[in-house]
Amino acid sequence: MFSSNPIDAPCELRATKVRVQFDGVRALDGVTLRLEPGEILGVIGPNGAGKTTLLNVLSGFQSPTAGDVWLGERSMTRWSPQRRARAGVVRTFQAVRPFMDLTVRENVELGALGTGRRAADARRAAGDLLERMHLTHRAEDDASALTAGEERRLGIARALAASPRFLLLDEPAAGLNEHESDDLVGTLARLNEEGEIGLLVVEHDMRLIMRLCHRIHVLNFGETLAEGSPEQVRSDRRVLEAYLGTEGALHAAG
């Protein structure tokens, strides 16, 4: 188990009837979503569907115009991102932005120190996470020397250092080649199995989504279009039409 947060069990992360409006445009319109402990949930949709906005609402970086976000029976709707992270809801960003003048190990240690761990504990946690993310051989290298795939794994390791119960990943495969994407699938699946962490993955890589996720939530124009298993989503005509010609990609992803 990675998480040591005192969260009541069972405990799920939920968004209920969330609406976000920007200058008259509804980025989200009544979206309800749930993520259970130990589950891998994919969130997909065409560009502009509201995926990143939903991730921002769940993580506290965007206040909803209406609706609520819950952690178990506790409303988190007005909580700051920092308070949500302390409660076990942590996210990554599309841009990893590591501290380039620090080593890979030091970057992960900072993530652990931010949770109040002592220096020795933070170093041990960093060593464990670097091993799990296949970065041990890079531990003493500057973060600036990492490849795109290694940098992505560093961002995930740094987020895991906060001991999350739920980890929200914003396009973790962006910029990765097929081999790196396959490696990421295996790494995330193992983290989920070993740590019982609930993962929410916002991603355009349909091959990754279909292979990794237990369940998929599809957004389109800010609304929920479909929800179900990868097999159900892959065969849903509404989803295929929303992707405008990506039917082959969705089927090939299986």
Peptide bond into 230 cis (omega under 30): no
pLDDT at 254 over 60: no
Mapped onto helix, strand or coil, the DSSP state of residue 81 is helix
Hey, what are 58's tokens? 């769940």
- Side-chain half-sphere of 243: how many Cα atoms within 13 Å? 21
CA distances in angstroms from 138 to 58, 76, 204, listed in the order given: 32, 37, 28
According to the per-residue pLDDT averaged within each range, which of 10-19, 60-69, 79-88 is highest? 60-69
- Tell me the per-residue pLDDT of 83-93, one tens digit each, with 9 for 90 and over: 999 899 999 98
Are the C-beta atoms of residues 35 and 9 closer than 8 Å to each other?
A: no
pLDDT at 4 over 70: no
The whole-number pLDDT of residue 50 equals 94
What are the domain boundaries of the chain?
37-63+78-215
pTM (2 decimals)? 0.87
- Tell me the per-residue pLDDT of 115-159, one tens digit each, with 9 for 90 and over: 778 899 899 999 999 998 889 999 999 999 998 888 888 999 999
DSSP single-letter state for residue 102: S
CATH class of 37-63+78-215: alpha beta
Strand partners, 41: 200, 215
Residue 34: name the closest of 26, 43, 46 by CA: 43
